[in-house]
Amino acid sequence: MNIKDYITSEIKIDVKQSLFSGQTFLWDIVSTDAEYYLSIIKNIPVIIQQISDYKIEIQSDSIVIDSELITDFIKSYFSFEIDANLIFQDDFKRFNSEIYSLISSYFSLRILRQDPYETMISFMCAQGIGMHLIRKQIGMLKKNYGKKISITLSGKEIVLHTFPTPERLAAVDPLVLSTCTNNNRNRAKNIVLAAQGVADGKIDLQSLCDPAIPLTELRNTLCLNPGIGFKIADCIALFGLGRFDAFPIDTHVRQYLGKWFNSRTAFRSLTPANYLILDAEARTFLNPELAGYGGHILFHCWRKEVKKLHSF
């Protein structure tokens, strides 16, 4: 890699917690003389190393990603501008002091601004399975249908694969693709349909990046596509469309809403109506504009501190 640069942050950043907290499955860890995090962003291989709590190193062969200086792109990618104090405000600290104390060590987790198409396909793959299997499936997806790129790190060749383009996935037989979806043929069919929609312009994810679109409208638009319900739509919005107000709700979120915040609705089945009730409840104790950002910190803390899970 010919380019090496450094980024400093005024607030703590934990690269590993951010990349391995269930919001992305596209990064790999390689340990040589140090621990490195590798991925391909916009067809550009990127290597990141944590130097300190406030500093990271970036290696790449390009000084630009998506027409932006790589340092500026990575700052935005890791949402450097978000202050955790804006997420968990004074009322939260006052009424939930024990929870606040528990989650405060996770404030260095950053929500990523990822590619919306890659996020959509990733979370369509991720329905109802554990993170280790999700990562394995998406790894197969990239290897089978992405472009191979070799890089050198600490004198060793490392092979990476790009995420498959919409056009490439759109042409795959769903039966063949099901080997990358835990043999779930219906899921594979929905992924092919989604890729076809993006490829032919029927699914216009770039237009959905408009922050002026009401969250309810955004969610309902995404849910028009087979295989996308409220939870996946909110994951796409939060992690792929920069909508930090989107609040995805899964089993772990229901559990912490019930245990930590005494939600009775959390103990009921997750019907669409109950999903929306839980969504509204979360906004009573989280900053509504950053509800998803705070929700993911709570989610990651719950999985690690309460459920004692270590697979991400």
Give me the residue label for tokens 């490392």: 158
Whether residue 253 contacts residue 235, with contact meaning beta carbons closer than 8 Å, is answered with no
Tokens of 70: 């790589």
What pLDDT shows up at residue 42? 95
Task: Report which secondary-structure segment, H or E, holds 7.
Answer: strand 3-8
Q: Which of the pair, 85 or 125, is modelled with greater confidence?
A: 125
Torsion of CA 220, 291, 77, 210, to 10 degrees: 40
Task: Report which secondary-structure segment, H or E, holds 277.
Answer: helix 272-282
Q: Which of the pair, 271 or 128, is modelled with greater confidence?
A: 271
Q: Is the pLDDT of residue 271 over 70?
A: yes
Whether residue 117 contacts residue 205, with contact meaning beta carbons closer than 8 Å, is answered with yes
pLDDT digit string (tens) for 144-189?
Answer: 999 999 999 988 999 999 999 999 999 999 999 999 998 899 999 9
Give me the residue label for tokens 């312009």: 201
pTM given for the model: 0.96
Percentage of residues in the chain having pLDDT higher than 90: 90
Q: In the chain, where are the structural domains located?
A: 1-81
Band the pLDDT of 311: cuts 50, 70, 90. Answer: low
Task: Kindly give the pairing relationship between strand 64-65 and strand 55-60.
Answer: unpaired
pLDDT digit string (tens) for 92-130?
Answer: 999 999 999 999 999 999 999 999 999 999 999 988 788
Task: Kindly give the pairing relationship between strand 35-41 and strand 28-31.
Answer: antiparallel
Which of 177, 187, 48, 201 shows the shortest CA–CA distance to 112? 48
What pLDDT shows up at residue 1? 74
Q: How far apart are CA 178 and CA 125, in angstroms?
A: 10
What pLDDT shows up at residue 20? 96
pLDDT, average across residues 50-71: 96
CATH 1.10.760 assigned to 1-81: no
pLDDT, average across residues 133-142: 94
The per-residue pLDDT of the chain, averaged, comes to 95
Give me the residue label for tokens 């404030």: 107
Q: Is the pLDDT of residue 33 over 90?
A: no
The crossing angle, in degrees rounded to 10, of helices 215-222 and 230-240 is: 120
What pLDDT shows up at residue 86? 84
Q: What is the DSSP letter of 303?
A: I
Q: Is the pLDDT of residue 234 over 80?
A: yes
Q: Is the pLDDT of residue 232 over 90?
A: yes
